[in-house]
Structure 1
Amino acid sequence: MTDTVTRKLQIRGLVQGVGYRNYLAYKAGVLGIRGWVRNRSDGSVEAVVQGSAEGVAEIIACAGRGPRAARVDAVDSVESAGEFSGFSVRNTE
């Protein structure tokens, strides 16, 4: 049985208005990652990602690349908790 890993991400750079949330949601679907992503009022993007250790490591790598129009300066990752059944794009907070 695979252990489930949950991480909270804060992504900074040119990450709003460039399709970043939809990009991350698509990659999460491909990788079988659960959780959510949203824009923050400070210009960053926040996400909680949950899945296998390998899947979470890959989605964090994807977060660091971003879509073509984005410029990712930093991805901070900390342990988190929660139970998620899918992956959603949430409203800005």
Structure 2
Amino acid sequence: MILKLRPTVIGGETAEGDFVVVHEGREVGRIRKTEDHVHGTEAHAWTITVPLPLAAWSHGSSANLEAAKEAFRTAWEQFYSSLTPEQIARWHHTQDARKPPTT
């Protein structure tokens, strides 16, 4: 399963360590650098962001980017393998409806 990272763009701006996760051309998650406020150390938060009901394990935090990518991949593979064709169609329909119209 191929997952790609690309910089997150919000309001035309990007932030260091902030990525959108892409699967088959669709945005499916986000991984971003953050801070572990309890320990005062850098961390990387990750989350699945598809417009479907998500389990508690669909997000988390890891000590570094590589660990976050691996944790996301594990969660994504579990989540994606559980989807029915109908759920995938609903996800695609909902996600496509959110796209701004092209002129």
When normalised by structure 1's length, the TM-score is 0.31
Higher helix share: 2
When normalised by structure 2's length, the TM-score is 0.29
- Larger Cα-atom Rg: 2
